[in-house]
Amino acid sequence: MTPYVLITGASGAMGAAATEALAAAGQPVLMAVRNPEKAEAVRSGILSRVPQADLAIAELDLASLASVRRFAAALEPGSVAALFNNAGVIAKKYALTEDGFEQSFAVNYFGPWLLTRLLLPKLASGARIVNMVSLTCKLVDLDVAGLQPGPDDFSQLGTYARSKRALLSFSQELARRYPEFAVNVADPGIVASNMIDLGHWYDPLADVLFKPFCRRPEKGVRPALRALEAGDGPRYYVGRKNREIPRCFLDASFDARLWEATETLTGVSS
């Protein structure tokens, strides 16, 4: 069996765009999704345009560490050629998951962190790992205590940005500890998707005045697709370019402390 590219959030706008692009290039894709029924509709649409597509669907809820563990346990060693941690969420209000994590951090950081760690022994030789980050990372600071924000610390975009900042830190530490894998990050820019519907009264206005000027999902996912082809890292893929991780994110000591704190919180040790 040819190893799959595993894409989380594959039924969303950018996940579906990445799935179709890879399928059209002849790459088998494992669509890891929270809603398999929605994913089946996406899969059927892709097959209508790319009849030869090799697409599988598996249920994965990144907001649940138990779901992540079940998903990872079901995969065979060597079955994943590349992991694209694409799924993300901007939580509309403060709430905790069953594991006691704030929603944005659960889906954007803790879930991908645990999934990646559990899959490391099962990845094919020379596998690539791409984590989707955000330009908003540059607008916030993060400390270890920030992994578990309280109600007074929460804001939709600020908490989202910090969760993505944590994922960027994880990417760098992962590359240090596991140099046998190509680890990179991708920044899609501002993409016209349901993710930027923040649940405010002005969302309909944004649909008319803002979204038309945002990138389409097919364009937003291109940096990640280029990163999935790369054989080295870590690099920061954005637009048509890739470059070294921006200097403002370089703090190896912080990356190590965040890694260790996350091991404690998730119950996974090195």
* Catalytic residue set: 160
> Do 169 and 255 contact (CB within 8 A), yes or no?
yes
Task: For residues 34 and 56, give the distance between their C-alpha atoms in angstroms, rounded to a whole number.
Answer: 14
- 216 within 8 A of 232, measured Cβ to Cβ: no
Q: Which 3-state string (H, E, C) describes 154-186?
A: CCHHHHHHHHHHHHHHHHHHHHHHCCCCEEEEE
- Distance of alpha carbon 45 from alpha carbon 2, whole angstroms: 23
**Biggest alpha carbon–alpha carbon distance for the chain:** 51
For the chain, the straight-line distance linking the first and the last C-alpha, in angstroms and rounded, comes to: 30
- Partnered with residue 57 across adjacent β-strands are 31
Nearest to 87 by CA among 48, 32, 154, 26: 32
